Amino acid sequence: MMEPYRRPGIDDRPDLDKALSAEDKAAVARLAADPRRLAPEETVEQPTAQAARLAADGTATVAAAAQVDAAVPDYSSSFLDMRDPLVAADGERPDERARTRLKWAFGIGAFLIAAPWATLNLVAIPNQIALGAGIDVTRADPSMLTRAAELPWTLCVIIGVGAVWSLLFTPLVAALSDRTRVTFGRRTPWLAAGGLLSALLTLALGATTATVPMLLLWTLLQFSYAMLVVPLASAVSERVPDKFRDTIERWNAIGVIAGQAAGGVVGGLAIGFGPFNPFLCAAVMFALAGLATVLVWPREPSSVEQPRMPFSWDEVLRAAWFTLPGGAEAKAFRCLYWSRMFMAAGVTMTAAYLWYIVRFAVYGDDPAFTSAPMTLPAGVLIALLALASFAGVALAGYAAGAITDKLAEGFGAWWRGSRAAVVSACVLYAVGLLAGLAIVVIGGERSLMVFSFIAGFASGMVDALVQPMIVDALPDAREAGRYLRMVATAKPCGTVIGVVGGACVVAVAPAGFSSAYMALFPAAIVCVLIAALFVRKRD
């Protein structure tokens, strides 16, 4: 019996409802014309924006700079449908000149944002607290150490409270900037205003030594700092086409790494010429950060026609306060979160109190043979430590991929997935802390650069190697933005643990005040080993 004639392309067409997967249907739906103007996606839900924020916070910087294979799943990417990957999410198609300007804008912006923040945290704020306690940090006076018992607790309160407030201010600024409808675009006004406001608050911080005003100003500075970091991270997903996003993110990460080192150098050298100078230098860099970014990149499209989105405090609070996902399928994600949190705590224990370690433990009892202030050698050592740490981080970024490939060749394919590389990097960081403790006890302050180099290299390796594991451990790739936002909170939580634990360690240490800071090294080693314990191989 003859079969009926089947018209090609008509009778043999597949049933698209059955042939297409859910992902295919979603991709086709994104191409459909909609006469209504849809509200843009919330920044706190965008995976690319959260990945850029991680790099800006220094918790995924080396991974981005080294271009380690840690691609964040993004189901709104143009590579998953028929949209042009050369067109950005804001509808613009940047040409080669515009892409170059974007590259330099993100690099310069990240550099000028990270540098003053490092200056304040490493040198300026700890030194201002010491001045508020009545300690003349310019003289080698052993009697001053008896009045310095409150320093760790004051620094603990200021840094810890600021870290807690940053958890709320980040989603708040993201929500407010998403709803900004002005001719200059959504992000440009926040960047320019955030830089100027940060500069004014920094100058005010340098003009007071009282604890309560410093705490208030530092809290406000957390908000103005978020006005810089959040819009810059959001602009990566909005203004950079998918085709060139990896390159722009790498420049952004390189800017963060270089800025952190430059901040330590500027703060260390400026403190030797007066306690207000680090604040002045930081204020200038803050003021330039927002202005330079918006002047270098192409003008942002107007957001006046953007659909209105109602503001909701519930959404902001849900983004700020959350619970980690439960269940056995999310166990790997929870362990990596706790590992990153304790690693941040270990780094904070020495970084937050580094000025006190150098000034009191290294130079505290040295007699002054010249009229030069004691802050001058201490500041120079801080600058050298920042450069040594930068060298270690840069080496980790350059060699992370090659090192893991060589180790995988030598030990077999199991090495890359066994997490042994991350555990080894954590152990190396602990070795660097032991070297730092030995150098402080024995003497030879310039040798502390060995500690900084090893610590920078080891932390950079952890940074580069953990990021792909976190991406692989996401409980639901469709909600990558929400889970990456959780990962970003590991740093402020670890900062709180680090400063509180460091203050407790210094308080209970049996040695004199200057020697008590040596106890921070073994305490930091404990935190790093706990981080290694959480990241160990699990069946």
Q: What is the pLDDT of residue 192?
A: 94
For residues 348 and 351, give the distance between their C-alpha atoms in angstroms, rounded to a whole number: 5
Contact 206, 124 (CB under 8 A): yes
Q: What pTM does this model have?
A: 0.87
Enumerate long-range contacts of 372-376, CB under 8 Å, 24 or more apart. Answer: 372/272, 373/137, 373/138, 373/139, 373/272, 374/137, 374/138, 374/139, 374/140, 375/127, 375/137, 375/138, 375/271, 375/272, 375/275, 376/272, 376/273
User: Which of 35-49, 84-98, 284-298, 466-480 has the largest mean confidence?
Assistant: 284-298
Largest CA distance in the chain: 112
Lowest pLDDT segment from 240-249, 413-422, 488-497: 413-422
pLDDT at site 460: 86
pLDDT of 519:
87
Q: Tally Cβ neighbours within 10 Å of residue 526.
A: 17
Asked if 353 and 155 touch (Cβ cutoff 8 Å), the reply is: yes
The half-sphere exposure of 345 on its side-chain side, counting CA atoms within 13 A, is 27
Condensed to tens digits (0 to 9), the pLDDT of residues 17-64 reads: 777 888 778 777 776 655 555 566 777 777 777 777 777 776 667 666
Collapsing DSSP to helix, strand or coil, 231 comes out as helix
Q: What is the pLDDT of residue 522?
A: 92
State the distance between the two ends of the chain, measured CA to CA, in whole angstroms.
60
Across residues 210-215, what is the average pLDDT? Answer: 93
Tell me, what's the pLDDT at 53? 77
According to DSSP H, which parts of 57-137 are helical?
A: 61-65, 96-119, 125-132
Q: Name the residue with higher pLDDT: 408 or 212.
A: 212
Residue 146 clears pLDDT 70, i.e. is over it = no
Q: Are 536 and 469 in contact (CB under 8 A)?
A: no
Q: Is 90 exceeded by the pLDDT of residue 289? A: yes
Q: What are phi and psi of 324, to 5 degrees?
A: -65, 145
User: 405: pLDDT confidence band, cut at 50, 70 and 90?
Assistant: low
Q: Using 50, 70 and 90 to split pLDDT, how confident is the model at 539?
A: very low
Q: What is the DSSP string of 275-306?
A: TTHHHHHHHHHHHHHHHHHHHHSPPPPP-TTS
Instruction: Report pLDDT for 198.
Output: 96
Provide the CATH topology of domain 96-302+314-535: Growth Hormone; Chain: A; (1.20.1250)
Residue with tokens 């958890």: 167
pLDDT at 369 over 90: no
The pair of structure tokens assigned to 261 is: 């080192």
Domain residue limits, the chain:
96-302+314-535
Which residue shows structure tokens 């997967």?
A: 21
- Mean pLDDT over residues 150-173, rounded? 90
- Of the two residues 14 and 134, the one the predictor is more confident about is 134
Average pLDDT for 80-106: 83
Counting Cβ atoms within 10 Å, is residue 504 exposed (0-12), middle (13-18) or buried (19+)?
A: middle
Q: Is the pLDDT of residue 181 over 60?
A: yes
Q: What's residue 395's pLDDT? A: 87
Average pLDDT, the chain: 83
Contact 261, 386 (CB under 8 A): yes
Flag whether pLDDT at 74 surpasses 80.
no
**pLDDT above 90 covers what percent of the chain?**
33
Pick 34 or 221 by higher pLDDT.
221
Tell whether the model's pLDDT for residue 278 goes beyond 50. yes
Q: How much is the pLDDT for 72?
A: 73
d(CA 89, CA 106): 17
Q: What's the confidence (pLDDT) of residue 102?
A: 92
DSSP-derived letter for residue 123 is: I
Helix 375-411 to helix 245-271 angle, to the nearest 10 degrees? 150
Q: Is the pLDDT of residue 151 over 60?
A: yes
Cα–Cα distance for residue pair 91/87, rounded to 1 Å: 6
Q: What pLDDT sits at residue 33?
A: 57
pLDDT of residue 237: 84
In the 8-state DSSP scheme, what is residue 71?
A: P
DSSP string, 384-439: HHHHHHHHHHHHHHHHHHHHHHHHHHHH-THHHHTTHHHHHHHHHHHHHHHHHHHH
- Cβ(190)–Cβ(231) below 8 Å: yes
For the stretch 429-463, pLDDT in tens is 999 899 888 888 777 777 788 889 999 898 888 88
**281: phi > 0 → left, psi -120 to 50 → alpha, else beta; which?**
alpha
- Stretch (H or E) spanning 167: helix 151-178
State percent of the chain over pLDDT 70: 84
Whether pLDDT at 402 is above 90? no
Task: Name, in order, each residue with C-beta under 8 angstroms of 194's C-beta and a sequence gap of 6 or more.
Answer: 224, 225, 226, 227, 228, 231, 289, 290
Residue-wise pLDDT tens digits, 238-277:
888 888 888 888 888 889 999 999 999 999 999 988 889 9
DSSP 179-220: T---TT-SSHHHHHHHHHHHHHHHHHHHT---HHHHHHHHHH
Cβ neighbours for 2, distance < 8 A, ≥ 6 positions apart: none
Relative orientation angle of helices 96-119 and 188-206, to the nearest 10 degrees = 20
Confidence class for position 105, pLDDT limits 50, 70, 90: very high
